[in-house]
Amino acid sequence: MWGYILVGIAGFLAGAQNAVAGGGSFLTFPALLFAGLDPRAANINSTIALFPAQVTMGWSGRTMASGASGLSLRTLFVISIVGGAIGAVLLLETPVSIFTHLVPWLIMFATLVFVWGNFFAKKRPEGAPPALPVPAALVLQFIIAVYGGYFGGGIGILMLATLTALGLAVRNAGATKNVLSGVMNVAAVVIFIARGHIAWGLVADQCVTAIIGGQIGVAILRRAPMNVLRIAVAAIGTALTIGMFLRA
């Protein structure tokens, strides 16, 4: 019972957190570990649970999503879904024991990306010329998609950096990022479900609360200072990294 309560609360907060600042998986992943899942299963179930909320967020902002610098949204769509599928297959083929030892490093990487993107990265002015060639952007988006299907922490920050470097305005880059996050997880979720071993009770619990959090949590969290939210996510990521290194 306590596991379901914690998983539900984490889902609500993660949905709201993703809608505002990103980093929701830092909440759902440890909650599923607490509920008794191994790290790989927790990662898989977290991806499935957060997917519907990603879809609703992407759909609500779809009119602002676009391609950039001759790189169409359709091309980004295809790259993301293929990369997500490859990442999901790689995850399923990784033995649990190996993934357990990889998790601390993955979380540390995701935390560093989040901290860099939110506290140190310089914001490109809107209307600035592209700083990234199209071929390089294609490769980066494919790598991000593979990483997203495999683990996913920090993909929002990575995509924002890539899309703004292509010349997209921050608002459009954010909407495009939300669409592509859902797209790259479509293939991953289908593959995960086809392979089975899903804790459907926990997934349903977290899925429903994440959708609610994503829809009504934004109105609540908008009143909180953004830096407080970012610091909280960075602190959770740091604590989770240390905890997983001690556990590995």
Question: For a pLDDT cut of 90, what percent of the chain falls above it?
Answer: 25
Check whether 117 has a pLDDT greater than 80. no
Non-local CB neighbours of 47 within 8 Å, separated by 6+ positions:
152, 185, 188, 189, 192
Check whether 185 has a pLDDT greater than 60. yes
Q: How much is the pLDDT for 220?
A: 61
Check whether 10 has a pLDDT greater than 60. yes
Q: What's the angle, vertex CA 107, arms to CA 1 and CA 20, rounded to 5?
A: 75
Q: How much is the pLDDT for 44?
A: 92
Alpha-carbon gap, residue 60 to 21, rounded angstroms = 16
Q: How much is the pLDDT for 120?
A: 77
Convert the pLDDT of each residue in 15-61 to its tens digit.
887 776 667 888 898 899 989 899 999 999 999 998 998 888 778 77
Convert the pLDDT of each residue in 136-171 to its tens digit.
888 989 999 999 899 877 787 788 778 877 877 777
Rounded to a whole number of angstroms, the CA Rg of the chain reads 17
Give the pair of three-digit tokens for residue 187: 């293939």
More confident residue, 225 or 155: 155
Question: For a pLDDT cut of 70, what percent of the chain falls above it?
Answer: 88
Q: How distant, in Å, are the alpha carbons of 79, 179, 182 from that of 156?
A: 16, 11, 11
Q: Tell me which residue range forms the domain holding 109.
A: 2-247
Q: How much is the pLDDT for 70?
A: 74
Alpha-carbon gap, residue 35 to 219, rounded angstroms = 29
- Band (pLDDT 50/70/90 cuts) for residue 224 is low
Check whether 100 has a pLDDT greater than 80. yes
Q: How much is the pLDDT for 63?
A: 82
Q: How much is the pLDDT for 23?
A: 73
Into how many domains does the chain fold? Answer: 1
Q: How much is the pLDDT for 218?
A: 57
Model pTM score? 0.82
- Band (pLDDT 50/70/90 cuts) for residue 89 is very high
More confident residue, 108 or 222: 108
Q: How much is the pLDDT for 125?
A: 63
Check whether 232 has a pLDDT greater than 90. no
Q: How much is the pLDDT for 53?
A: 84
Give the pair of three-digit tokens for residue 230: 């970012």
- Band (pLDDT 50/70/90 cuts) for residue 242 is confident
